[in-house]
Amino acid sequence: MNSTMLVTGGTGTLGRLVVSRLRDRGHAARVAGRHAPPPEQDIEFVKCDLDTGEGVEAALSGVRTVVHCAGAQKGDGDKAGRLVAVASREVADQLVELALGEPAGLVPDFAGPACYPMGGLIRSYLAAAGQRRLLVPLHMPGSAAKAIREGANLSEDRSVGRRTWEEFLTEHVSRAVRR
């Protein structure tokens, strides 16, 4: 076994996949979080609260690499959870590759293979779910909204994933409608 890697948020949607992939490749993974995983998972767990700093020193003891997956769902768990589910397997693979590689500093953003306007995402989701809704465009004020409208949140220098929005809709939304 190689040196231990710390996965914050290792009991969440993305973190569980990262821990599993690290272990599959023969690496020790320590999970840091506020809530312990079920005992049957046989995972080294350190109680740690990143908001207060409690337990951080113990979590980092003997660790070479940290894969930070905690906090992705703060404030809006349901919506963020759905976003993480879109490509969590692909993102987990990318994070493990980065964690196992040489220190790289700031790495390129990881994005899907296509960029969609918000209205297009909503319309395609509703169509896949078999729902009809009136969509009313709203102008969002403020500098953050202006930056998003101008594409400042998008990166030309990025690693590109393979999974498309349409594949996600087919796999998750259309399947849920058929149930």
- Are residues 83 and 11 part of one domain? yes
What per-residue confidence (pLDDT) applies to 165? 86
- Rounded mean pLDDT, 124-142: 88
Instruction: Reply yes or no on whether the pLDDT at 87 is more than 60.
Output: no
What per-residue confidence (pLDDT) applies to 31? 92
- Rounded mean pLDDT, 157-179: 75
Task: Answer with the one of 100, 129, 155 that is the final residue of a domain.
Answer: 100
Q: What is the mean pLDDT of the chain?
A: 79
- Are residues 120 and 83 part of one domain? no
What per-residue confidence (pLDDT) applies to 126? 92
- Are residues 132 and 73 part of one domain? no
CATH number at residue 81: 3.40.50.720
- Are residues 86 and 32 part of one domain? yes
- Are residues 94 and 114 part of one domain? no
Instruction: Reply yes or no on whether the pLDDT at 130 is more than 80.
Output: yes
- Percentage of residues in the chain with pLDDT exceeding 90? 6
Task: Answer with the one of 78, 100, 122 that is the final residue of a domain.
Answer: 100
* Whole-Å CA distances, 27 to 39, 41, 141, 150: 19, 15, 47, 42
Range of lowest pLDDT (36-45, 53-62, 79-88, 125-134): 79-88
End-to-end alpha carbon distance in the chain: 43
- Are residues 128 and 69 part of one domain? no
What per-residue confidence (pLDDT) applies to 85? 47
What per-residue confidence (pLDDT) applies to 40? 67
- Are residues 128 and 75 part of one domain? no
What per-residue confidence (pLDDT) applies to 42? 74
Q: How many domains in the chain?
A: 2
Q: Which domain holds residue 129?
A: 109-178
- Are residues 92 and 137 part of one domain? no
Range of lowest pLDDT (72-86, 98-112, 137-151): 72-86
Task: Answer with the one of 52, 81, 100 that is the final residue of a domain.
Answer: 100
Reported as a pLDDT band with limits 50, 70 and 90, residue 156 is confident
What per-residue confidence (pLDDT) applies to 45? 92
Instruction: Reply yes or no on whether the pLDDT at 104 is more than 70.
Output: yes
